Structure 1
Amino acid sequence: MNDSPGCPLIGVAATYMPRLSEMTSEPGLAAAVDQHAAAVCDALIPAQRGRDQDRTVRREELADYVLGFTDWLTGVDWTEPVGHDFATLRLTAVCWLIREHDLLDV
């Protein structure tokens, strides 16, 4: 999963961005992705920075998060299921953040 050169967000977006379209027809999926996106934001944006500055997700921080998460997935020999599990929801949420914050348009 981490074998693509460059920013890890590119590979995640290429693989999981299509899952965002499923959110329009599955309200439960939309809610789950929203919760995962909030959890990622909470991990990336400390509360004190959130009060003093805007809560913008930064590309470098999200890329570091993705590297750590995908390294963990590799370590546990995770394989992508047909449906949605914790990892696919988290990676789909990362794609939502990429899209919402225009993190590939830099």
Structure 2
Amino acid sequence: MNIENTQVQMRKGILEFCILHIIARGEVYASDMLEELTSAKIMVVEGTLYPLLTRLRKAGLVDYKWVESNSGPPRKYYTLTEEGTSFLSGLDQTWEELVSSTGRIISVNKNSK
């Protein structure tokens, strides 16, 4: 089994959660999201972000607006909808439970060595 494949799958599993958190801070441009995700080693593939943003928009969790740019074409800036804020709150609770549960399991393994 290849560890890199498992690591990529783990990162992909929390990608939506991380994107929603970035957008929750306020209006954000897609390339800024990509830069933050890449620097955090969550995502490196650009082609993954845009389809995910489209899916989140179609689900009613995010919205966007076009803003004129001085340096080129207009840009889409994303924001969380009210439904997205509520959804993220539920994900936060699940995240805390997962961190706690996995922490207990990992600590048992570390303590038994």
Report 1 or 2 for greater relative contact order, CA contacts < 8 Å, sequence distance ≥ 6.
1
TM-score normalised according to structure 2 size: 0.32
Which of the two has higher C-alpha Rg?
Answer: 2
